Amino acid sequence: MSSLSKDSKILIVGGGTFGLSTAWHLVRNGYSKVTVIDRHPLPSQDSAGYDLNKIFRTEYSDSLYSKLGHEARAAWLEEEVLKGCYAETGYIFAVKGDNKKSLENWQAAVDNSIKQGVKFDKLEKPEDFVAKAPVLNGPLKGWRGVYNAKAGWTHALNAMKAVYADCLRLGIRFVTGPSGTMGNLIQGEDGEVLGVEAEDGTRHLADRVILACGGWMDSVIDTKGQCLAKAWCLVHIQLTEEEAAKWKGMPVINNRMLGYMFEPDAEGRQLKIAPHSVGYTHYVSPGKSFPRAKSSYPSDGIPTEAKEGIRELLRDTLPDLADRPFGYERMCWDADSKDAHFLITDHPEHRNMYIAGGASAHGFKFFPIIGNHIMQLLEGRLEPELKEAWQWRPWQQIKQDTSRPDLPNVDLRDVEGWNNERVARL
């Protein structure tokens, strides 16, 4: 393997959250020959980050991600390029009912956050929730929670657009369309990776190749079962001007047993809501799941059971909206690891190639900083704790993070009330 220098040719496959962040950090640290390829114009519409908003939180049962969360928060607040892309509206982290495992996991995340210096207000009865979010007028029966004032949401799409524009300004080369669609790895002796051949035959040669393919990771390289393409559902509800004004500034509300919602979008008055129901997979062969992205399958909606989960959340919180039509539906695909740790590592069999994936539906909050850690991996100076957690690990999973719901994998072919007739059986 050739030594890494600022003049090394670095090829990033994928212009989503991890790929774009990596390109941005590389060019800002003096790397002069960075190329990003993606089948779509940037920001890539297939990226999980191509979204109205994402939760920003530091509540993790694993201190590793709590620490990264605090690092990321500083970047969201301080990076001039990202001004206006982070809304610190506050964050309600709640549970409902008495499911023992869910309660234990929720409590573990809260306890660890307290150790990290997060200050919470306890919410023990419905009026406590209404005090923090006066827009709530549902029963909130059985809800318990905490409120963190130093959290909120990120405007994901605007953040990606801003960083993309800065990358263009700084000289990053972007290739899209058939010339930017990965076909095959170009390999030399002993599996050494020399670059990528695109769908149209274009050869992108490089000294280092970073695969940042999101939910498509297993379609370009065998991850040995470490990454599974999984979809989470979301909808938008159109609000009136009066409703949007009334709900402006409401905290993010995340009930880990039901789902989560954000304040309305200031421009389009869209209220985004997502259920905590299941993680949907689309198997194309035993053990391999590939995305059904909206760009390729525009007629796909979301399963009926996911819609009902959203309406249950609304009945508890905003019952006036419980029967409101959904104006937009999307299945948001990401690469999910079994332990929710990222997969950011060199490949054990292919020299010069690195994996940057496994975001597991909680990666976007780290958008301003994750590329820096991927750059550190290339330079051989990634922190030992991160290197161990994000290593290539087909033989085992390390430490399960329990701050997100324990979602089962559900094969879309087995889901009723959805376009499952479009999904071929194995």
pLDDT digits (tens, 9 = 90+) for 25-75: 999 999 999 999 999 999 999 999 999 999 999 988 888 999 999 999 999
Q: Has domain 1-52+155-226+339-395 been given CATH number 3.50.50.60?
A: yes
CATH number of 89-151+228-336+405-426: 3.30.9.10
pLDDT tens readout for residues 147-199: 999 999 999 999 999 999 999 999 999 999 999 999 999 999 888 999 999 99
Structural domain boundaries in the chain = 1-52+155-226+339-395, 89-151+228-336+405-426
Tell me the C-alpha distance between 354 and 345, whole Å.
6
The pLDDT of residue 426: 30
Q: How confident is the model at residue 123 (pLDDT cuts 50, 70, 90)?
A: very high
Q: Is the backbone peptide bond immediately before 43 cis, with ω within 30 degrees of 0?
A: yes
Does residue 408 have a pLDDT over 80? Answer: no
pLDDT in tens, 321-332: 999 999 999 999
Poorest-confidence range of 65-79, 99-113, 279-293?
99-113
Instruction: Report which of 340, 404, 371, 389 is spatially closest to residue 34, judged by C-alpha positions.
Output: 371
Strand pairing partners for 274? 260
- Is residue 102 scored above 50 in pLDDT? yes
For position 424, what pLDDT does the model report? 40
How many whole angstroms separate alpha carbon 331 and alpha carbon 215? 12
- The predicted model gives 392-402 an average pLDDT of 67
Q: Give 228's strand partners.
A: 336
Q: Tell me what pLDDT residue 417 has.
A: 60
User: Among positive and negative, which fits the CA dihedral 137, 143, 327, 56?
Assistant: positive
Q: Which amino acid appears at position 423 of this protein?
A: V
- Indicate the pLDDT class of residue 425, thresholds 50, 70 and 90: very low
If pLDDT is split at 50, 70 and 90, which confidence band does 399 have? low
Q: What is the mean pLDDT of residues 131-145?
A: 96
pLDDT value at 422 more than 50: no
On whether the CB atoms of residues 42 and 164 are closer than 8 A, the answer is yes
**What pLDDT, on a 0 to 100 scale, did the predictor assign at position 339?**
87
Contact 234, 53 (CB under 8 A): no
The pLDDT, as a whole number, for residue 421 is 43
